[in-house]
Structure 1
């Protein structure tokens, strides 16, 4: 075996081993990332049979120039149902040296992580809070109320068909039927709202500038306000001097009088 071939094997074989090891690590990282994403999706998914209403609050830090376009991008992604069923509830955008904003949406559970990922893309996910409200008792109470009203409604309808009813009784039954129908309608609306809160999740995304930009902006504001602060301070000193001037004159006169009296006494002594 010649020397060049030996050196070729010595150089190429370890390089190939290192490349294979890197590929394996990358594959493991991809699997771990996928597992983390799956865990995140599972963490916000309501268990089957549960009546949980999830809400998410997310704090995102971005460069100042990115905040306005990102707010529009997130709102448009929701309106176009890019990550599933979604409804924009609120869009708040504030400009200035420290721009900020807020987007509030209600979205299907499967799209929560994707939308939050879009909101924080290229920035920092500063904080996140996820909470759930158990609506099981509310759902049960609404269903029980609706069933009771419907049962009473059916019973009153059977009474209304009787021919021996007095006019007063018939009017009372008609009035009660109207009340029951209004109650059933309200219970139906409550049930639909509860179902909406369970089937979709509320996500509120707050957008702020980075801490470095906020510091620079605060310094700039301080410099820009220094002129007005100096003018205010000088004006205060002038007013104070004008207010104290009469007092100073009176004090000088009194001091002169006292000094003159003391000198006169000394001369007499």
Structure 2
């Protein structure tokens, strides 16, 4: 009876190790409906019209989109336009608009910027609002394919869930062996922590797929005031004057040695020329 009790923890831990290796080496196929499975494309077809793919097909299955828009506005409209965009984002609950960053830069070149995460229907609304305060100078869209990371994370989630179920089943078979129960509890805690981490990664990846990033830059290049360049030039007069004096002094420092060398060279050439004329 003593030997049987002695070898029981060893048998239990061997079983745990075998289950873990089996879970790590098992081949995976993403189940339908999971985050790793390829989403089915739905079509809305009206009578007499060609089939039109839904938004999921148009955007791509696991593409994370980011939009960059530059608006050229008058200098006096930069700050009010930014305030309108921030207020519109905070009020757009339907598209779950989230303000990520915003800021204004004054001084010589006034500008502002805003960065939000929002559902695609709300993007056009914000861009249209930005266009009311100026002119859309540029608009670019880029996409990142997250299918690989999403599939890999889904495989990891399924493996961890399967391994946790096997550990729970093994826990019922251990009985009252304290040492084996402690080791199983530690392994279960580790698996649960990894599950929570992988679930968080899945949520962040799917958020990037389901929500777009929108960056709007507001500048005043073509719509600057008539006197703005004059004001800047007047404001920079003192610094430009000091830079000019500094450049002149630096040039003089370089010129003095060369002037001395050229003077000596001219003196020697003149002596040689006079001797040649005498002959």
TM (normalized to structure 1)?
A: 0.67
| Structure 1 residues not aligned, in runs of 5+ | 1-41, 253-269
Counterpart residue number, 1:169: 180
Counterpart residue number, 2:195: 184
Counterpart contact for 1:83–1:110, Cα < 8 Å: no
Counterpart residue number, 1:27: none
SS in 2 for 1:93: strand
| Structure 2 residues not aligned, in runs of 5+ | 1-51, 264-279
Answer yes or no: is 1:110 the counterpart of 2:145. no
Q: Out of 73, 88, 102, which is 1:62 matched to?
A: 73
Counterpart residue number, 1:5: none
CA-to-aligned-CA distance 1:86-144 (integer Å, 9 cap, x gap):
11111121122321111111111111111111112141111111122222232222222
Answer yes or no: is 1:85 the counterpart of 2:108. no
Answer yes or no: is 1:149 the counterpart of 2:160. yes
Counterpart residue number, 1:204: 215
Larger Cα Rg: Structure 1 or Structure 2?
Answer: 1
CA-to-aligned-CA distance 1:193-244 (integer Å, 9 cap, x gap):
1221222211111111133528964453233323332244346656877999
SS in 2 for 1:84: coil
Indicate the structure with greater helix content. Answer: 1
Q: Distance in 1 between matches of 2:208 and 2:247?
A: 58
Q: Distance in 2 between matches of 1:82 and 1:163?
A: 52
Q: Distance in 1 between matches of 2:252 and 2:100?
A: 57
Counterpart residue number, 1:46: 56
Counterpart contact for 1:83–1:115, Cα < 8 Å: no
Q: Out of 101, 123, 131, which is 2:112 matched to?
A: 101
Counterpart contact for 1:44–1:109, Cα < 8 Å: no
Q: Distance in 1 between matches of 2:250 and 2:70?
A: 47
Q: Out of 76, 83, 86, which is 1:72 matched to?
A: 83
Following TM superposition, by how much is the alpha carbon of 1:151 offset from its aligned partner in structure 2, in angstroms? 0.9
Counterpart residue number, 1:259: none
Pairs aligned (count): 226
CA-to-aligned-CA distance 1:140-194 (integer Å, 9 cap, x gap):
2222211110111111112122245754433332221111101110111112112
TM (normalized to structure 2)?
A: 0.65
Counterpart contact for 2:82–2:114, Cα < 8 Å: yes
Q: Distance in 1 between matches of 2:253 and 2:119?
A: 69
SS in 1 for 2:132: coil
